[in-house]
Structure 1
Amino acid sequence: MRAHRTALAALTTALVATGCAPVTADDVQGGPRPVGEVTMVVPFGAGGGSDIAGRAMAAGLTAADPTLSITVDNREGGQGAVGYSYFLGKRGSTHHLLATETSLLSLPAGIDVAFSHRDFTPIAKVGEDYTLLVARPGSPITSCADAVEQSKQRRVLAGISGALGPDAVVFTLMQRRAGADFDRVPYQSGSETMAAVLGGHVELASLNPSEVIGQLRSGRLTALCAFAPQRYHYPELAHIPTAAEQGVPVSFAQFRGVIAPGGLDPRARQYWIDLARRYAASPAYTDYVESEYLQPVTAFGDEFTAYLRDNQRLLADVVGR
């Protein structure tokens, strides 16, 4: 873990030193509101949940204001650190947005990076993404409570996608609040983690519903519990009990949202907030939320800022250095 954090810290320090520090005024597209082309930075690779969120928000915001053209720019690496460090250099720009999620908080809490959520302008939280604890059918572990108890008695391998990801947070909370003792095996992504469960290399994984719904439908994996405050309302997931129902008091959401660069003109900030509200009231937003099995919990502007502040405290306690 220490080596992993050191490598990430070195990466982000190098990024800032080699040109990702705040840019000059000539490079900034400032002003009261954006006009024309806008870039939506996604700090992860194509095809994952963050990429899907970024593309859905880009399309939805464009539909809400057809005078804009929003393109997606994937800048992956360092569990999101590369993209956020690049975005740090767009201070004051009205023509850049970033599809944000929990790494905005977990990276500064867990390693030395040059940014925190306070360096950016929160625009909107568009949903919450809770994970499911999954195992192969026929596994000796048949519930969330069973996973906790067996981990106390024998070696139970749990796959995680990065030491600072939401699944790692969930397993840490299970350890602290229920006394679980899992041996964690890190992978590069949720898809690699799922493959490890399917292949029998690990017994458990904590995955987002959108990542694993196909495997649940086919019967190749089974869901033991949902780390959510209440059961999902989606018919395909409604039968899955929450962890709390099984006596494991753990609930944690990866949020999905959008931020603008720091130092933004207040008029541009209000423009983006108003546009995000229009998107959240549109059929396109409903389609995105339902296709990804999100909880449609929104927050805008100052409310989103307060959410980030409160969750930063939680993550600092769970993954803090």
Structure 2
Amino acid sequence: MSLNIRTRRFGKTGICLFFVSALMTAGAGHAQQTDTSKWQPGKGEFIVPAGPGGALDTAARMISHLLQTKNLYPNLVVVNNPGGNMAIALNALDKHKGDGNYVMTSVSSLMNQEILGKIQHKLSDYTEIATLFDEYVAVAVRADSPYKNIHDLIAKFKASPGTLNVGVATSIGNHIHVGIASPLKKAGVDISKMTVVPYKSSSESMTALQGGHLDVVAATTPNLIGLLKSGAIRVLAIGAPDRLSSPFENVPTWVEEGIDVVPSSAQGVLGPKDMPKEQLDVWVDMLATIAATEEWKAFLAKNHWREHYLGPEDTRQYRAREYKQIRTVLTDLGLVKK
């Protein structure tokens, strides 16, 4: 009935023009939808190469939380895959080649394990999505330690480098080990002769320090805050470019002490091998968005981490420079196979 009315009112020519116009409008709408559409994340996993509660897990859960609350990635869960010098987590990521619904924490220690030959994976084979922040390694002793400052400790290491027990978590040759060895090497210590004891976590190494089983502990800042505030430990130096806020405001950096080294460790997000560009672009946009939020900035400040946002290409270049520096230190430690 409606068509007959239009026929009488507009005639055959009008009908043709009407349908042509309708088709063009529909086609334009479809083209516009195609041009502006992006890859839409589905049900995803954020793989963490460590157990719950540590720095890697804490950061991953905050990233997942912000992505969900900002409605950027509503269905992303954190999955802990510790062990195997991070190989277990990488194996889990390898099951999802080319699938951006699966990502993992990108951390400097992955290169340490690669250089040491403890894993058969190469970080450069994966898709670097972004660098998000730097964490810093500090050197701590008990409050009653005879070493009042970092130069006292350096003098002892130079005189007899193997007599002090140094605790690190979680493995020999990781970023925490490098975080203390790198500046000590610069200061003239024979780091290959140091006695380094690995612990399962920094909480365990800090307990051992308080119990008198260790003389020195190297650990990242979140693990030291409570004991420093209580007066149980003294932090002698920190590997940051400049001083951190309370409770570290009185702790000098290595650079301040005349040792020009900033042995930071960067965290970010790593994608699987052969991740399509359209998926990478969406991830870059999502991470850039949450990195600009006040919630993220407050989270970094609380943990005494420093914002260090880099996109994919800058991250690859940054990791390449890190790789060379890490390899040099691990070689000097006598840990790299010839």
**Is contact 2:105-2:268 (8 Å) kept?**
yes
Identity %: 23
Name whichever of 61-70 and 219-228 sits farther off. 61-70
1:180 pairs with one of 174, 183, 189: 189
Hey, what's the Cα distance between the residues in 2 that align with 1:114 and 1:101? 16
- The one of 174, 188, 191 equivalent to 1:165 is 174
The 1:220–1:201 alpha-carbon spacing in structure 2 relative to 1, beyond 3 Å, is same
Mind listing any 5+ residue stretches in structure 2 that lack a counterpart? Answer: 1-37, 331-335
User: Post-superposition shift, 1:97?
Assistant: 1.0
1:303 to 305, 314, 319: 314
2:75 aligns with one of 62, 69, 72: 69
Q: 1:213 aligns with which of 213, 219, 225?
A: 225
After TM superposition, the score normalised by the length of structure 1 is 0.85
Residues 68 and 242 (structure 1), Cα distance of their counterparts in 2 relative to 1, 3 Å cut = same
Residue of structure 1 equivalent to 2:22: none
3-state SS of 1:93 partner? coil
What secondary structure is seen at the aligned counterpart in 2 of 1:68?
Answer: coil
Alpha-carbon shift at residue 206 of structure 1 (Å): 1.3
Offset of 1:244 from its aligned partner? 2.2
Which position in structure 2 is the counterpart of 1:45?
Answer: 51
- 2-structure distance, mates of 1:195, 1:183: 18
Is residue 108 from structure 1 mapped to residue 119 from structure 2 by the alignment?
no
Q: In 2, Cα distance between the equivalents of 1:112 and 1:99? A: 18
Structure 2 residue matching 1:83: 3-state secondary structure: helix
Native 8 Å contact 1:134 1:204 kept in 2: yes
> Alpha carbons of 1:38 and 1:145: their partners in 2 closer, same or farther (altered >3 Å)?
same
| Shift, 1:248, TM fit | 2.9
Mark the CA change 1:91 to 1:107 in structure 2 (over 3 Å): closer, same or farther: same
Match of 2:128 in 1: 122
* Shift in Å, 1:284: 2.1
Distance in 2 separating the partners of 1:255 and 1:220: 28
Q: Partner of 1:251 in structure 2? A: 262
Give the aligned length: 290
Query: Which blocks of at least 5 consecutive residues in structure 1 are unaligned?
Result: 1-31
Q: Give the AA of the match of 2:313.
A: D
Coordinate RMSD, CA, aligned: 1.8
1:87-127 deviations in whole A, cap 9, x for unaligned?
12321012101122122211111114221121211111111
Q: CA deviation at 1:75?
A: 0.4
**What is the CA–CA distance in structure 1 between the aligned matches of 2:73 and 2:176, rounded to whole Å?**
39
Q: Which one has the largest radius of gyration?
A: 2
1:147 equivalenced with 2:148 (yes/no): no
**Inter-CA distance 67–160: structure 2 relative to 1 (3 Å threshold):** closer
2 CA distance for matches of 1:40 and 1:305?
20
Does 2:231 correspond to 1:222? no
Question: 2:201 maps to which residue?
Answer: 189
Do the aligned partners of residues 157 and 248 (structure 1) sit closer, same or farther apart at CA in structure 2, a change above 3 Å counting? farther
Aligned to 1:201: 213
Task: Quote the Cα distance in structure 1 between the aligned partners of 2:164 and 2:296.
Answer: 39
Answer with 50-59 or 168-177: which moved more. 168-177
Change in Cα spacing, 1:272 to 1:67, as seen in structure 2 (3 Å) is: closer
**C-alpha separation in 2, matches of 1:66 and 1:268:** 13
d(CA) in 1 for partners of 2:157, 2:142: 16
- Is contact 1:227–1:250 with CA below 8 Å preserved after alignment? yes
Partner of 2:13: none
Contact 2:103 2:272 in 1 (8 A): yes
Shift of residue 175 of structure 1?
Answer: 4.1
In the alignment, the residues of structure 1 paired with residue 177 and residue 74 of structure 2 have an alpha-carbon distance, to the nearest angstrom, of 38
Amino acid in structure 2 at the alignment position of 1:65: N
Residues 47 and 81 in structure 2, CA contact (< 8 A), matched pair in contact too: yes
Counterpart CA distance in 2 for 1:41 and 1:73 is 5
Cα displacement (A) at 1:34: 4.0
Deviates more, 1:39-48 or 1:88-97: 88-97
Q: TM-score, normalised by structure 2?
A: 0.81
1:317 aligns with 2:328: yes
Give, in angstroms, the shift of residue 168 of structure 1. 0.9
Secondary structure of the residue that 1:274 maps to in structure 2? Answer: helix
Shift of 1:289: 0.5
1:265 matches 2:268: no
Contact 1:42 1:100 in 2 (8 A): no
